[in-house]
Amino acid sequence: MCLALPARVISIDDGEMAVVALEGIKKRISLALVEDVSVGDYVLVHVGYALHKVSEEEAERTLALMSKAGVLSAEIEEIEGAEA
């Protein structure tokens, strides 16, 4: 449900419109639903609207969490391997 993609804001009009870029694709979208967005921010784009800012910090935290789960499981495997 709800196809939405993170894209980088590359320019903002006087009004509520902005241009976002995604790998060389540029699309005009509306900023009517978000506040405090600046050029360089990543926003989640859905049906031509920015829905939310994307937090870089949180994205990295989530990836770190995923890696940690992996590290844990590697340790577990090692222990289990040693027991076997």
Partner 1 sequence: MKYIDEFRSHDLAEKLATAITHEAATGRDYHLMEFCGGHTHAIFRYGVQDLMPPNVHFVHGPGCPVCVLPVRRLDDAVELAERHGVILCTYGDMMRVPGTKQRSLIRAKADGADIRMVYSTQDALKIARDNPDREVVFFAIGFETTTPPTAVAIVQAQREGITNFSVFCNHVLTPAAIQHILQSPEVRELGTVTIDGFLGPSHVSSVIGSQPYEFFAEEFQKPVVIAGFEPLDVMQSTLMLLRQINEQRHEVENEYTRVVKPEGNLKAQALVGDVFELRSEFEWRGLGTVPYSALKIRESYAAFDAEKRFALSEKVSREVKSCECPAILRGAKKPTDCKLFGTVCTPDNPMGSCMVSSEGACAAYWTYGRFRTNADGTAATKEAAE
Partner 2 sequence: MNAFEPDFATSAGAVDMTHGSGGRAMARLIRDLFHKHLGNPHLAAGNDGAVLTLPPGRVVVSTDGHVISPLFFPGGDIGCLAVHGTVNDVAMMGAKPLYLTAGFILEEGLPLADLERIIRSMAVASREAGVAIATGDTKVVEKGKGDGVFITTTGVGVVADGIELSGDRARPGDKVLVSGTLGDHGVAILSKRQNLEFETEICSDTTALHELVAAMLAAVPGIRVLRDPTRGGLAATLNEIAQQSQAGVILDERAIPIRPDVAAACELLGLDPLYVANEGKLIAICAAQDAERLLDVMRSHPHGKNAAIVGEVVEDKHAMIQMRTKFGGARVVDWIAGEQLPRIC
The contact set with partner 2 (CB under 8 A) reads 1-3, 5, 7, 19, 22-27, 45-47
Distance, CA of 21 to CA of 24 (rounded, Å): 6
Distance, CA of 45 to CA of 41 (rounded, Å): 12
Q: List residues near partner 1 by CB under 8 A.
A: 1-6, 8, 22-23, 29-30, 32-35, 42, 44, 46-49, 51-52, 54-56, 58-59, 61-63, 65-67, 69-74, 76-77
Residue 35, both tokens: 């506040």
Q: Which is nearer to partner 2, 10 or 79 (CB)?
A: 10
Count of other CB atoms within 10 angstroms of residue 16: 14
Q: Which is nearer to partner 1, 11 or 27 (CB)?
A: 27
